[in-house]
Each structure stands twice: as C-alpha cells, then as structure tokens.
C-alpha cells in the first residue's frame, strides 16, 4: 500500500542553500567534501529523508559523484532513504529497554497504527510507515536512559517508562 508523506516536497530554498554554503565554508577548499555529513543532516531535518534528488544536489554542491554521497547515506543507519510518518517513533532496543518491554511496545504501536514491519529491516530500511503516512516506527540503539525503560522518541520528544499498555495514551498525545 502506498503511503502519503507528510514532509514538504524536495525544493531547495534560498535558506537551505545558504545554510549549506555556510557549512561548506567551514572546511578548506580541498576538504569541502567533508561537509557531506552536515549537508545530509540539513536535508534529513528539512525533508525527513534523503532521496535521489537530494543526493544529486549535495554531490553538485561538493563536486562529488552522487554515488559518493549515496555511499554515506547507505552506510549510516541514522540516515533514512524513505519518508517517515508525521510522527516518527524511535524505540530503544538495547538490553535494559528490551528487558523492560520495548519489543512489546513496538508491537503495540504497530498494532494501534496499522504499521506492517514485515518489509523493514534493521539497517537499510529500518523505518516502517502506517498506511495513512501519519505514523512511523524504527528501533534505536540506546537512547541513554537505561533506568527508565522502555524509552522512545516521538520526533524530538523523549518519553520514559512507556509500558505497552501506555502506547494508546502516547499516540493520543500526537493525534490531530
């Protein structure tokens, strides 16, 4: 089933271009390729993921081949190649959160939102999106709150001690 992205279409605004130029200027001319990570972060923050157009734009800014940018995108699991939902859940799955029920929390959120994780994996396609495009989930490696698990991020909001039975209340905070 096709999902609908809640992020803006890929259009490089003057502000984004200026921010990219500012980041590139922090590197010597012969090392400007080192700005690839900051530019990827700018794009992912603005558009939610990094698509082929973004890869080509960054490559053009840095004088690289698009494949060189794509290699970086595909290497780091923190970069997404597909759009997440409007509300993106990152659920910690390290040992303490796993023992506190993070797998059950993931299962409950997927059940409540209609997310099918069967086509997602842990590295190249970690994000699973609901059919409506509003919700997405992925596992995260250690969100640094081992004593209050299971923990998760919803976009940039941090939530502690989110037992599976609290999943519906958590979702209700973001509906609308």
Q: Which residues are annotated as a binding site?
A: 92, 97, 142, 146
DSSP E strands, 41-129: 87-92, 128-129
Report how far residue 154's alpha carbon sits from residue 135's, in angstroms, rounded to the nearest whole number.
Answer: 10
Report how far residue 155's alpha carbon sits from residue 157's, in angstroms, rounded to the nearest whole number.
Answer: 6
Token pair belonging to 57: 């734009």
Tell me the binding residues for [2Fe-2S] cluster: 92, 97, 142, 146
Q: Cβ distance 173 to 89 under 8 Å?
A: no
Report how far residue 116's alpha carbon sits from residue 109's, in angstroms, rounded to the nearest whole number.
Answer: 11
């Amino acid at each position: 089933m096709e999902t609908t992205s809640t992020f803006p279409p890929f259009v490089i605004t003057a502000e984004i271009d200026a921010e990219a130029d500012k980041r590139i200027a922090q590197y010597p001319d012969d090392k400007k390729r080192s700005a690839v990570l900051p530019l990827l972060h700018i794009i992912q923050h603005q558009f939610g993921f990094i698509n082929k157009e973004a890869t080509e734009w960054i490559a053009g800014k840095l004088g690289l081949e698009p494949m060189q940018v794509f290699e970086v995108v595909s290497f780091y699991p923190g970069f997404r190649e597909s759009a997440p939902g409007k509300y993106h859940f990152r659920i910690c799955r390290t040992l303490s959160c796993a023992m506190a029920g993070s797998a059950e929390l993931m299962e409950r959120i997927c059940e409540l939102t209609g997310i099918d994780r069967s086509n997602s994996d842990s590295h190249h396609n970690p994000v699973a999106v609901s059919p409506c495009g509003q919700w997405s989930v992925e596992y995260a490696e250690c969100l640094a709150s081992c004593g209050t698990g299971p923990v998760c991020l919803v976009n940039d909001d941090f939530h502690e001690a989110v037992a599976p039975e609290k999943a519906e209340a958590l979702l209700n905070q973001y509906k609308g």
